[in-house]
Structure 1
Amino acid sequence: MSRAILPGLTEPLRARLQETLSGQRTGVPAWVTEFESGQDAGFFGPDSAVWAVHGGMPTLVAGIRALLMQALHPGALAGVYDRSRFREDPLGRLNGTIRWIFTVSYGDTAQAAAGSAWVKRLHEHVVGDYVDGHGRPAHYSANDPYLSTWVHLAFADAFLTTHERWGGPIPGGSDAYVDQWAIAGELMGVPDPPHTRRELKAALHGFADRGELRCDERTREVVDFVRRAPVRRSLRPSYAVLFAGAVASLEPRFRDLLGLRMPHLGPVPLPAASATRLVLGGAGALLGPQTAGERAARVRLARLQDAGRNASRA
C-alpha cells in the first residue's frame, strides 16, 4: 500500500520543484524538445565533464552560490539591481538562466550559439553607472567582456565546487570541466577563460586581490533576497538547507566579504554539508536520474548515429 500512496504524496512536491526550475509544472518545455532536432552532436556529450556536472543535483546549490558570488562585483550587481526584474519575477530570471545553461550543455552547436546570442541581445540595453570597488564612478554594460568574465568565473566555480562536494565522479576530473565550460565563456564573449581549476581559482582571487569586489547595502539587499527567495511554501525548508549549503561551500575569503557566517545555532555549528546531501538526495528521487535536456540530447544523438550507420551502408 505504501508504494501506491507514495506517488500521491510526492507528485505535488515534484511538480512544484519542476515549476521552480523550468517554469511549468508538467511536461517538457518546447525549447528543450527542440534539442531532439539538432543537426550535430553539440559541444558536449554523455561522457563529458559538463554533462556530469550539469546533470547532477548539486546544481541546485550551485545556482544559489553563483548568485551570491556574482553579487560581490558592484558592476555585475548594478546590472541586476537596476535593470533586472528579479524582485517582481525572480523565477522568470532563473528560468532564463537555466534555459541558457541547458541549451549550451545539451543543444547542438547552432542552438548553443543562438542561445548565447539571444542572451547577449537581451543584455544590449543593460547599461548604466555604478561605483567600483575603489569608490570611483564607473560605467557598466552587461556585455562588457570584463564583467562577463566575472560572471563566468563565479558560475564555473559554483558548479564545480558544489559538484566536488556533493556530486559523483567527473570524467577527466575538475580540470576537464573548467576546460570544457570555457567554450560557454567564449560564446558569451569572455576573453581567455580559464582552462584548469587552478587558473579558475587564481582568476577569482585576482578580482579580490585588485580590490574590485565589495559588499555594500545593495549587495546585502540581494543576498537577503536570495536567502528568502519566494519559492513555494512546501519547498522553503529544503531551500533553507540548500542556502546554508551554498554559504558553507564558499571560500572563507568570499564568505567574509559577503558578511555571511557558517550556519550555526548559537555557538554550535550546524551540519550544513550532511543536511544538504540529504535534501539533494530527496530532490534526485523526485526529479529522476536525467534532466529533460539530457534525455532530449540523447534522442538527437541516437538519431544522428542511426543516420550515420545508414549512410555507411548505402
Structure 2
Amino acid sequence: MVATTRGGDSAPGPAPDPGLFGPGSVTWQMHGDPMMWVAGVRALYLQALHPLAVRAVMQNSDFRRDAWGRLMRTANFVGTTTYGTTEAAELAGARVRRIHGMLSATDPATGRAYAIDAPELLLWVHCAEIDSYLHVLRRSGYPLTDAQADRYLAEHRVSARLVGLDPAGVPADRAGMAAYFAEVRPRLAAGADARAVDDFLLRPPTHPLLVPAREVLWRRVAQLAYASLPPYAHELYGRPAPAPAAVTRGLRVTGTLLRGIPARLRWQLPPKHILRAMARLGPGARPAPYKAGR
C-alpha cells in the first residue's frame, strides 16, 4: 500500500542509504580512480614485509594459486564498504571478522601459534593498504590538499572498525600515519614469504597465450607499484630504489592514460559498485576529483 498525504499525494519514501562514507566523503571520490589498482598492488608488496602478517596469508590461503581471487576479493570488499549500503558494508565487515576469528598461523621464528586477527596485524594490513591508496593517487596527480588527505585517513577509521580494530587506535592523519610506520619499521623484514609474494607479483602464473600481455601490461603495473614503495622497503627487498623523480613521472603518465578511459566504461567492469551506487542515489553521486574538497 502506498502512503498518502491528506491531500491525496504520495508521501515521500525514505531517503536512499548513502552507505558508511557517502558521496560527500573524500573516500567516495578517491576510490573511483583507476590508479587504485596500482595502489592495491603496492599495498600487497608493503603488507608482505610484516613476517607475521604475510605468514598468516601463506598458511591460510592458497596465495600462489588464487592470488588473483584474493586481489579481487579485496577489491570487492573495498567497493562494497565504499559504495554499498550501510547494511552491505556492515555484513561484509562481519564476514571478514568471522573468518579471521577462526584462523591462526605459526610464527616461523618461534613455532608458536598466533591469532591472525591480533590487533597488531590488523593495524599493519589496514595502514599499509590505506597509505598505499593515498600515496599512489596523490603522487600520480590526483588533486588532494594536505587537509583532504588527512580527512581521508580520518574517514578510514570506519573501515578499520569493520575489520575489528578500535578506531581510537588507528592513525587519523598524515602525522599519525608517519609515526606509526616509524614505530613498526624495526619489526619488518623480507623473509621467504615476502620473497614469494614478490616473485608472484613480478611473474604471476597465467595461460601461455596471455604471457605477452603479462609481460607488456602486468609487469609495468607491478614494477610501478613496487617502485612507489618507501625507501626502506626497497632496502628490505634488496633491490636499489629507483630515482624518485622517475617514479613520479611514471605514476603521472600512467594516471593520465588510465583516467583518459571514460569512467562509464571503466565502471562497467564487475562488480559495478559505482554504477549501482549512482542508480541508488542519483547521478549527483558520481565520483569526481573536484568534489573531494566539498
TM-score category, normalised to shorter length? 0.7 to 0.9
Q: Which residue of 2 aligns with 1:254?
A: 233
Displacement of 1:239 after TM fit? 2.1
Do the aligned residues in 1 keep the contact of 2:107 with 2:113 (CA within 8 Å)? yes
Question: Within 1, Cα distance between the matches of 2:64 and 2:96?
Answer: 20
Question: Within 2, Cα distance between the matches of 1:270 and 1:223?
Answer: 23
- 2:237 is matched by which residue type in structure 1? L
- 1:283 is matched by which residue type in structure 2? L
Question: Within 2, Cα distance between the matches of 1:236 and 1:276?
Answer: 18
Gaps spanning 5+ residues in structure 2: where? Answer: 1-14, 286-294
| Superposed counterparts of 1:1-314, under 5 Å | 40-131=17-108, 135-170=109-144, 172-191=147-166, 192-208=169-185, 211-230=186-205, 232-233=210-211, 234-263=213-242, 271-286=246-261, 288=263, 291=267, 292-302=272-282
Do the aligned residues in 1 keep the contact of 2:18 with 2:86 (CA within 8 Å)? yes
Question: Within 2, Cα distance between the matches of 1:221 and 1:270?
Answer: 29
Do the aligned residues in 2 keep the contact of 1:263 with 1:272 (CA within 8 Å)? yes
Question: Within 2, Cα distance between the matches of 1:72 and 1:90?
Answer: 17
Gaps spanning 5+ residues in structure 1: where? Answer: 1-37, 306-314
Question: Within 2, Cα distance between the matches of 1:44 and 1:236?
Answer: 37
Displacement of 1:76 after TM fit? 0.7
The superposition leaves residues 108-142 of structure 1 with CA deviations (integer Å, 9 ceiling, x where unpaired) of 211111011112223233312113xxx54443322
- 1:112 is matched by which residue type in structure 2? A
- 2:187 is matched by which residue type in structure 1? E
Do the aligned residues in 1 keep the contact of 2:189 with 2:236 (CA within 8 Å)? yes
- 1:214 is matched by which residue type in structure 2? A
Q: Tell which has more relative contact order, 1 or 2 (C-alpha 8 A, sep 6+).
A: 2
Q: Which residue of 2 aligns with 1:11?
A: none
Question: Within 1, Cα distance between the matches of 2:90 and 2:141?
Answer: 28
Displacement of 1:156 after TM fit? 0.8
The superposition leaves residues 12-57 of structure 1 with CA deviations (integer Å, 9 ceiling, x where unpaired) of xxxxxxxxxxxxxxxxxxxxxxxxxx95211212231112221112
Question: Within 2, Cα distance between the matches of 1:50 and 1:270?
Answer: 27
CA separation of 1:165 and 1:59: change in aligned 2, threshold 3 A: same
Do the aligned residues in 1 keep the contact of 2:139 with 2:252 (CA within 8 Å)? no
- 2:101 is matched by which residue type in structure 1? E
Displacement of 1:295 after TM fit? 2.1
Displacement of 1:104 after TM fit? 0.6
Do the aligned residues in 2 keep the contact of 1:244 with 1:263 (CA within 8 Å)? no
Structure 2 SS opposite 1:99: helix
- 2:235 is matched by which residue type in structure 1? D
Structure 1 SS opposite 2:113: strand
Displacement of 1:260 after TM fit? 3.0
What percentage of aligned pairs have identical amino acids? 30
Question: Within 1, Cα distance between the matches of 2:97 and 2:202?
Answer: 28
CA separation of 1:148 and 1:76: change in aligned 2, threshold 3 A: same
Displacement of 1:248 after TM fit? 2.3
Displacement of 1:287 after TM fit? 6.2
Structure 2 SS opposite 1:222: helix
- 1:169 is matched by which residue type in structure 2? P
RMSD of aligned residue pairs (Cα, Å): 2.7
Do the aligned residues in 2 keep the contact of 1:156 with 1:178 (CA within 8 Å)? yes
CA separation of 1:280 and 1:240: change in aligned 2, threshold 3 A: farther
Do the aligned residues in 2 keep the contact of 1:123 with 1:142 (CA within 8 Å)? yes
